Homo-oligomer: A and B are copies of this chain.
Amino acid sequence: MPQTKFILQENDIPTHWYNIVADMPNPPAPVLGPDGKPIGPEALAPIFPMSLIMQEVSGERWIPIPEPVREAYRLYRPSPLFRAHRLEAALGTPAKIYYKYEGISPAGSHKVNTSIPQAYYNKEAGIKRIATETGAGQWGSSMALAGHMFGLEVRVYMVKVSYEQKPFRRSMMHTWGAEVFASPSMETQSGRAALAADPNNPGSLGLAISEAVEDAAHRADTNYALGSVLNHVLLHQTVIGLEAKKQFELAGDYPDMIFAPCGGGSNFGGAAFPFFADKACGRDVRLVAVEPSSCPTLTRGKYAYDFGDTAKLTPMLKMFTLGHDFMPPGIHAGGLRYHGASALVSQLYHEKLIEAVAVPQIATFQAGVTFARAEGIIPAPESNHAIAACIDEALRCKASGEPKTLFFNLSGHGHFDMAAYDKYFSGQLEDFAYPEDALQESLANLPKVEA
């Protein structure tokens, strides 16, 4: 009987994270301060511990994972790699499909892979409290869990539309002892300003980031934590791809194409970057970032310096961006709604070393239901993006007869997203291509910086 799962033991949890910077053909573009000049590590010190800042700027290929972090990873790692025999049969494709299932973490997604080390390093630095934001809720619940594990207080600014639509993500954060506020909130200057301008402001990830950064900057005992975008976050997520490589060895196989959801970029970076190293060794593996048509950062954004948040409190990163005051449409059900993409992912895409594709919303849910009916697991809406692109490729293989090996990152389960599935079943979901004029308007507000 062919194997369904490729299972590692606890001592197979990676001992080092993989830093793609060491293998990029060009060094990362510098991070700029408000004056348009490159900033040094110390500029980030008010909101991050120095250990994470050093990871942010490191060029070392391998960064050791501290033992207390590996110890905490043991609660759910290694995660299984599945061969999707039933999905292949349902599609009638000659392609072999594999997926890594990160939904086994207690918070239900891959985000815990970085919330744990972020909590650890902050605790080591003597920090008592973390302020962070969350959109769909995966990151906030992951930070709540990790904060509790390492004895940190956690405050989460949750994008208001999610706060109202996903009460059970809130309950989850409460269970792990975190405080949760709807953003924009009255707790910060940025929040109060947004509410003054529009009391019905539904919130955005960029605005929630402003609130959390402001909170952290104003309290000495408090740091900020971000769930994606930054280099150290992508670094931590490489445990996904590193484990997957071991599991492909067990399977005696290797992917021709890798698909991962792409919002801020850590989901994609975590799954795909460890395979990027193999490209240099002559492996022909295609890495595909999959994003929503309603928030098409890579496929329709501009590669330019921009702020990470609405209130322009963060430094400027060179990245594909839709503009820092981009407001995702309310009809968009899942996460992946950040206006920018990781600088590393953006640079690789700009240099045509990776690929990107945008998928409309209804197609992603269609793919998710096809997957759930074949493989059992109900995927998170974010993960459905990767599934949709992978199924498309599997069907192309069916037409061409090519037995490609496809791999996608099933980054989380959809247990807290059933309301979105209900909307899909009842025909209430809409597709939405972000309007060109709105995009141009938002891009016109990019900071004026010499490239």
Are A372 and B175 in contact, CB atoms less than 8 angstroms apart?
A: yes
- Whether the Cβ atoms of A376 and B168 lie closer than 8 Å is no
Compute how far the CA of A133 lies from the CA of B414 in the bound complex, rounded to whole angstroms: 24
A107 CA to B376 CA, complexed, in Å: 8
A422: nearest chain-B partner, CB-CB: B171
Query: A350 at the A/B interface (Cβ < 8 Å)?
Result: no
A71 contacts across to B, CB distance below 8 A: 1, 4
What residues on B are CB-neighbors of A106 within 8 Å? 372, 375-378
A313 interfacial contact with B, CB 8 Å: no
- A419 engages B168 (CB within 8 Å): yes
B149 touches A376 (CB 8 A): yes
Residue in chain B with minimal CB distance to A8:
B7
Does B168 lie within 8 Å of A418, measured CB to CB? yes
When C-beta atoms are compared, the residue in chain B nearest to A83 turns out to be: B74
State the Cβ distance, A425 to closest chain B Cβ, in Å. Answer: 6
- Picked from B10, B376, B415, the residue with its CB within 8 Å of the CB of A75 is B376
Contact indicator per residue, chain A 404-424, by CB within 8 Å of chain B (1) or not (0): 000000000101101101100
A373 within 8 A of B: yes
Q: Check if B421 sits within 8 Å of A175, measured CB to CB.
A: yes
Chain B residue nearest to A77 in the complex (CB)? B5
- The interface centre, meaning the residue of A1, A107, A177 with most chain B CB atoms within 10 A of its CB, is A1
Are B378 and A172 in contact (CB-based, < 8 A)? yes
Contact with B along A360-380 (1 / 0, CB 8 A): 000000000100110111100
Query: Is A67 an interface residue, CB under 8 A from the partner?
Result: yes
**For residues 384 through 431 of chain A, which have their beta carbon under 8 Å from a beta carbon of chain B?**
413, 415-416, 418-419, 421-422, 425
B residues near A415, Cβ cutoff 8 Å? 108, 168, 413, 415-416
A76 at the interface (CB under 8 A from B): yes
Residue of B nearest to A168 (CB): B418
Query: Which residues does chain B contribute within 8 Å of A176, judged by CB atoms?
Result: 372-373
Residues of B within 8 A of A10 (CB): 3-5, 7
Decide yes or no: A418 and B172 within 8 Å by CB, A4-B10, A5-B10 being known contacts: yes
Chain B, Cβ-Cβ closest to A107: B376
List chain B residues, Cβ under 8 A from A377. Answer: 106
Residues of B within 8 A of A419 (CB): 168, 171
- Kindly state whether residue A300 has any CB partner on chain B within 8 Å: no
Of all A-B residue pairs in the complex, the 9 with the closest CB atoms, nearest first, are A106-B376, A168-B418, A415-B415, A171-B418, A4-B74, A106-B377, A171-B422, A75-B376, A175-B372
A residues near B, CB below 8 A? 1, 3-5, 7, 9-10, 67, 70-71, 74-76, 86, 104-108, 145, 148-149, 167-168, 171-172, 174-177, 369, 372-373, 375-378, 413, 415-416, 418-419, 421-422, 425
